[in-house]
C-alpha cells in the first residue's frame, strides 16, 4: 500500500499531509509520523487528508488514536482537508461530527464540525 506523508510547520501549528490509502497497516506509519511531528513541534496538529484515496475503519481508529495522544499532550487535532473517501467512511460510521475540521479562510483556520453543511 502506498502512503505518502509530509510535514510542514507554521507559527502555531504543525500540518501532516497524507496521500494514498489509510488502513490499519499503513495507518501505523501515519500514527508514528504524526506523533513524531507533535513531539518535535508541539501539540497543535492539523492533518490534511485531501490526498487520501481510500480509508477503512482501521484508518479511522488511527485518527482517533492520534487525537487521543495529542489531547494527552495538551493539544488539539484538526482535519484541514478531507477527500470524498474520508468523508464517506466517517459519515457511514456516524463519526462525521467526532473529529473537527477546518476551513482555510483569509489565511487562518476556522474550526468547524465535520459534516456541517
- CATH number for the domain spanning 34: value is 3.30.750.24
pLDDT of residue 100: 61
| The total number of structural domains that make up the chain | 1
pLDDT of residue 102: 54
Residue 110 sits at the vertex; the CA angle it makes with 76 and 65, to the nearest 5 degrees, is 25
User: Which three cell numbers, joined as nine digits, stand for 18?
Assistant: 497524507
Q: Which pLDDT tens digit goes with each residue over 57-77?
A: 999 999 999 999 999 999 999
Please list, in sequence order, all residues whose beta carbon lies within 8 angstroms of the beta carbon of residue 44, skipping any fewer than 6 positions away.
Answer: 12, 13, 14, 75, 76
Q: Which pLDDT tens digit goes with each residue over 25-37?
A: 899 999 999 999 9
The residues with which 21 forms a beta bridge, in sequence order, are 54
Q: Are 58 and 114 in contact (CB under 8 A)?
A: no
Please list, in sequence order, all residues whose beta carbon lies within 8 angstroms of the beta carbon of residue 71, skipping any fewer than 6 positions away.
Answer: 77
pTM of the model: 0.82
Q: Which domain holds residue 73?
A: 3-113
Percent of the chain predicted with pLDDT > 70: 81
Amino acid at each position: 500500500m502506498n502512503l505518502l506523508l509530509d510535514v510542514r510547520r507554521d507559527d502555531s501549528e504543525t500540518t501532516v499531509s497524507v496521500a494514498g490509502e489509510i488502513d490499519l497497516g499503513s495507518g501505523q506509519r501515519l500514527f508514528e509520523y504524526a506523533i513524531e511531528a507533535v513531539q518535535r513541534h508541539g501539540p497543535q496538529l492539523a492533518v490534511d487528508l485531501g490526498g487520501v484515496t481510500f480509508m477503512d475503519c482501521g484508518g479511522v481508529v488511527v485518527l482517533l488514536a492520534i487525537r487521543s495522544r495529542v489531547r494527552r499532550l495538551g493539544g488539539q487535532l484538526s482535519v484541514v482537508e478531507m477527500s470524498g473517501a474520508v468523508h464517506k467512511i466517517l459519515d457511514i460510521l456516524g463519526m462525521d461530527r467526532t473529529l473537527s475540521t477546518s476551513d482555510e479562510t483569509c489565511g487562518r483556520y476556522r474550526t468547524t464540525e465535520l459534516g456541517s453543511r
